[in-house]
Chain A
Amino acid sequence: MAVEHPSYTMAELMVAASAREIADGEVVFVGMRLPLLGFLLAKSTHAADATGIFELGIIRDTATSEPILTMGDLPNLCRARWLSDTADVMALLQQGLVDVGFIGGAQVDRFGNLNTSYIGGCERPETRLPGSGGACDLASLAGRHIIIMTHEKRRFVPRVDYLTSPGYGDGGGWRRRVGLPRGGPAAVITTLGIFRFDRESGEMVLSSLHPGVTVEDVLANTGWELRIAPAVTTTPSPTEAELAVLRRFDPQAFWTGS
């Protein structure tokens, strides 16, 4: 299971790892919750020239002047570059002008399809989850997207109960076949490691283990025969500088508590 460290929390490690997925100068579609912090961290460290797009109709290219818990908090609107309609920011996404998006999930499968709608199927659901929000749109239309979620066997399933946000469907070539113009998941960042996708088959591959986690831990918590990269690396711990930024933007540890 997830291994906790004395100097940082698992959420801090995951947010730091997500921030590193943003290259400087990229246009980022920023989702709710942990991705809000990931964007602020990237902006404040290695990606000062990244631009953030928020589905409410907000574009900003500076970090907020104070901590926020939601993208609608007033500091995220103050000194924004553009306050607009949701249709306008979705237009940028649909045109292909968004490099990377971040989404969370309840259930993911071997091809990176994501379910945030119904556990137990949609006919007689055991659990109704909130739904897509903008996640389906990001997964359909961003240049690539990053999934952030808790790693448990019940969440890492061979096939999602309901496909809210498309990954690689049933494998290579699926996205083009169904009409999606581009994109697909580039990484899944979990409480155990980081997973990437085979370019040909669209299948998830273990790429990096968080400090203290073993391959066996991952396999025991994954519901299919997971592929493992030839050279699995260790996820770098968050640096002092990264932790300082995270604690400035989440002073109460609302998102990054243990």
Chain B
Amino acid sequence: MSSSKLYNLADAIERFVPHGCTVAMGTCQESLIPFAAGHEIMRQAKRDLTLVGTISDMLFDQIIGAGCVRTVRASWVGNVITGSCYNFRRAVEGGSLEQEDHSNLTLTMALRAGAMGVPFMPTRTALGSDLFKTNPGLKTIACPFTGDILCAVAAIAPDTAIIHVQRADEYGNAHLWGNLGVTREACLASRHIIITAEEIVSPDVIGSDPNRVITPGFKVSAVAHVPWGGHPSPVPGYYNRDHGAFLDYRNSSKTSADFARWRARWVDTVHGSGDYPALLGEERMASLALRNHVWSEAADYGC
């Protein structure tokens, strides 16, 4: 077996998210969003990043607000339960952010093309839409076999994918369950993968259920143990969505000054992996805990 890939989160971000790189995050869309890793990117004041994601919920807005982002390649940037996000609006309306507009399906196809090592993937979505005006990675083509008009989506191969998972071993083998979003495509398409995990477990635990492994461990560059690393998004098997945090964020990001106060409290006070749970507090964590457990039956992989 290869050597350990365990990092602390700060070192993983320092090494695998250089200034100017392209990062895929929030690939499960509304669950398992790697908020802790995003906040570390903000603390390290990364510059000129390109963010790739489908529905990023409010994480992209936070990283944009911190001035880390030059380009967003996404299908939806906002706050799922409240709508528009203010940092994103300020950056676009002020002309300081480049964007490529995708739909969920075109972004999925872009990552799948990256994953497959081909320059584009065809789809039938978005034809006739203005996405073609604000995304140079979309072009209409004629199918060479049927003559049908298709939308060709240029490949996206991120430098780094950051995913949050329930459990991983120190070698980069990880179990992720729940809806998968575009996580498998994003991991396959990316040169590096950073995994943040609620728990670090033995390789035997991961090896006992290979169907639940999200991507080949040998592609993973770093594994960091980050309990509550997906909060306030939900993490199946660990905690529920913290709706209050999403509602609070709406009001805490209305102006740049509001956002500065928000990040001073929720981002800049966190230095180690135990700081964030302490900031949340026992009562709030207890309110998000699973109220009942629903276990799957074990699958027999014997021979």
Contact = CB atoms under 8 A, between A and B. Distances in A.
Interface stretch (B9-17, B83-91, B191-199): B83-91
A219 B118 CA distance: 51
Interface in B119-137: 123-131, 133-134
B101 A117 contact: yes
A163 B178 contact: no
Given A55-B104, A132-B101, A122 B30 contact: no
A73 B234 CA distance: 7
A136 B103 contact: yes
Contacts of B29: 55-57, 72, 86
Given A77-B236, A87-B108, A128 B93 contact: yes
Given A128-B93, A130-B78, 16 more contacts: A70-B80, A79-B294, A83-B178, A86-B54, A87-B112, A131-B76, A132-B101, A133-B75, A134-B104, A135-B103, A137-B126, A140-B125, A163-B128, A164-B130, A179-B148, A180-B128
Interface stretch (B153-161, B181-189, B265-273): B181-189
Interface in A47-79: 54-58, 69-74, 77-79
A57 B28 CA distance: 9
A175 B124 CA distance: 12
A83 B140 contact: no
B177 interface: yes
Contacts of B233: 72
B236 A162 contact: no
Contacts of A86: 29, 54, 104, 108, 180-182
A71 B76 CA distance: 15
Interface residues of B, number: 62
B43 to A, nearest CB: 26
A164 B78 contact: no
Contacts of B128: 163, 166, 169, 174-175, 178-180
Given A128-B92, A131-B101, A136-B129, A74 B240 contact: yes
Contacts of B185: 85, 87
Contacts of B148: 179
A42 B236 CA distance: 26
A151 B120 CA distance: 40
Contact of A58 (B84, B129, B179): B179
Contacts of A58: 179
A239 interface: no
A162 B294 contact: no
A81 to B, nearest CB: 12
A90 interface: yes
Given A87-B108, A181-B124, A132 B75 contact: yes
B279 to A, nearest CB: 23
A134 B140 contact: no
A94 interface: yes
A129 interface: yes
Interface in A110-159: 117-118, 122, 124-137, 140-141
Contacts of A174: 128
B104 A133 contact: yes
B175 interface: no
Contacts of B102: 131-132
Nearest to A57: B179
Interface in B279-303: 290, 294
B22 interface: no
Contacts of A72: 28-31, 80, 179, 233-234, 241
Contacts of A83: 177-180
Given A70-B80, A179-B140, A133 B55 contact: yes
A94 B225 CA distance: 39
Contact of A130 (B31, B85, B149, B184): B85
B228 to A, nearest CB: 15
Nearest to A175: B128
B163 interface: no
A190 interface: no
Nearest to A115: B130
A133 B93 CA distance: 20
A74 B236 contact: yes
A13 B77 CA distance: 29
Interface in B143-168: 148-151
